[in-house]
Structure 1
Amino acid sequence: MTDAQQTAEASPEVSTREPSGPAPVPLLAPREGVPPVTADPEALAGVVSAFAAGTGPVAVDAERASGYRYGQRAYLVQLRRAGAGTALVDPAAVPDLSALGEALAQAEWVLHAATQDLPCLRDIGMVPTRLFDTELAGRLAGFARVGLGVMVETVLGYSLEKGHSAVDWSSRPLPEPWLRYAALDVELLVDLRDALEEELRRQGKLEWALEEFAAIAAAPPPPPRKDPWRRTSGLHKVRRRRQLAVVRELWTARDRLARRRDLSPGKVLSDAAIIAAAQALPPDVKTLAGLHGFGHRMGRRQLQQWQSAIDRARELPEAELPQPGLPAEGPPPPRAWPDRDPAAAARLAAARGAVTAHAEELRLPQENLLAPDVVRRLCWEPPAERTPQAVSEALRGLGAREWQIEQTVEALTEALGATA
């Protein structure tokens, strides 16, 4: 039994139960009040100076306008650090925050669900070298729910306002209640970090978390997604290649228009409308206007641009039509394994069972103990030698962290060996 297992078994109550006892105390306003929005170079220089002089970790959060604007750019950045207080920075007014990023380069950044905010922060020049992710820390510590609000309630005993998470943060001026909500998101983030660090240390999992955080900070930006049009909701209803070409042409035309107008693509044309047009293959604007999503509110000029995209798809040579699916990368879907490779299917069943059982012992999600894709790839192409050393090398090559390898290699070696 590992130290982490012994510690978790000795005191499971903190990391597995929902809050009980006194009701959480509502947190109604930041300690120093809501700061003014930093929206000009002079004010930004003041923020940079104050935060460079601050001490300890810096809480960082970003608000986007998902569902309203094109892309995932930040429309407000919130920061808090001891000695500097809280700052609210408007990247729409001061889009280059690289000076702030450089001033905080040596500090530990505390974020909640870091992978959601890091791309938009990177775009404005803010890239951490060290971070602490309170959501991931909560997962590793075994909390059942890891949203920021419930974590603050469970761990610190305060309740945060929840009413403005999905508003249009590109609006200007930003209403005072929204700014108060934004400031409160970083008000207790460092306190939450400190409490979770102590809990992870108590459970013997702190080194695991630090390894995970280092991997997130070091990860390069993801490459552009291949054939992003294939993520159109409802694509599974489209079977024929000519219809798939319609989806591709409409998606591309919509994306181009959404980018130009800085609107969420769904506000330009819904996925449901794209699928309806692909299924119907309308020959003209009049027919198109009768389809779902192309109603009377859409002007003839708009209808004509969508019909032009459909016509382009209709006229494509057969050789240029998209294939029904992307070329497979990696193992096939597990449901196909029993027919294609029964031995691999047996390995996968044994390995999944072993990883799941150990994750339950450690009181953390199975996918955090070892990514399901890593398990699949290992089982589809196992090492020639079914030894702990060979399995460790295979896991390392698949991107598993050292703590994950240490925790799973014995069970996976046994599972692969039993089905050899």
Structure 2
Amino acid sequence: MAFASQIRIPATYMRGGTSKGVFFRLQDLPEAAQRPGPARDELLMRVIGSPDPYGKQIDGMGGATSSTSKAVILSKSTRPGHDVDYLFGQVAIDKAFIDWSGNCGNLSAAVGPFAISNGLVDPAKVPRDGLCTVRIWQANIGKTIVAHVPMTQGAVQETGDFELDGVTFPAAEVALEFMDPADEGDDGGAMFPTGNLVDDLEVPGVGSFKATLINAGIPTIFLNAHDIGYTGTELQGAINGDKAALARFETIRAWGAVRMGLIKDVAEAATRQHTPKIAFVAPPQDYVASSGKAVRAADVDLLVRALSMGQLHHAMMGTAAVAIGTAAAVPGTLVHLAAGGGERHAVRFGHPSGTLRVGAEARQEGRQWTVTKALMSRSARVLMEGWVRVPG
């Protein structure tokens, strides 16, 4: 019996922030996969090693966590004023499914470096030394991201002394600006889709919870840690090994998604795993991060824990960090209250791996709030480049 030989596709394996993913140029994909649809999804799932009922992704490039089961497709931008179009796919581990509904803020840090190194940015715009500004069109959510990428002697600088909690080794800093991160509707109020800064979220069979429902960076449901029986100091082991807790979080997430208008029925949440995110907040407390590093209450404004693809994240999703910074800048949200109130243009929050600072510029127009941009720094590095192989 004859079997099809493997095909090989140019690809780069990159770390961006606290995530890793396989990066492709659109033009390098097989023709059938250059368009959205089943052929593209099947190819990328096979590259990553999904679906895997064992949950290990042994036969692919994925790392068996939501942070390492990702694919990125980049191309020269056709949108005026932009350099590169960026499409992100969150690959489910044990299911045959790719969620294209949102962005990955961490991998956003790797988009600029990849685009420069792979000829997707006009060479005339790339300085020999200094910072190269790359304007990125985030195609999943229709937003602009501006990356400031360090250059040394005509090449992207990847090494440096910038430290990021959740990443073991230092690297070069990549500053990111998420422009107009809130999803603004015709009435300008869609940053808070219910029109409220805090809602009473009724979850049948679970309970009623105070919640801030926000569209900024990524749709996010914020709860108070105390209301759901947590302190805000939890690490992954305290939640990811508790099947009942994970099921409860998923039920809350599903009903929150309905309340936000993202889905019409809770059953649809299974096909929209990447968004919305669910997170819980608490006032500052001392705790020990997963690395063993002591985080002091005096060093943070609040504590935040967030779940991604049904598991507590080991650090913080970049897009959720945008939501945190945005919500902290708006007086009256649960995030703002957990941070102690007052006028805020930036917050430093504690997460399972340490701390992270994120800024946001928010202003009130009438009864509505708008955010012009959110800012944070990450780092990125090429881990491997060449070709990935998949059975033809």
State the TM bucket, normalised to the shorter chain: under 0.3
Bigger Rg, structure 1 or 2: 1
Higher helix share: 1
Higher strand share: 2
Structure of greater relative contact order (alpha carbons < 8 Å, 6+ residues apart) = 2
Q: Give the alignment's TM-score, normalised by structure 2.
A: 0.25
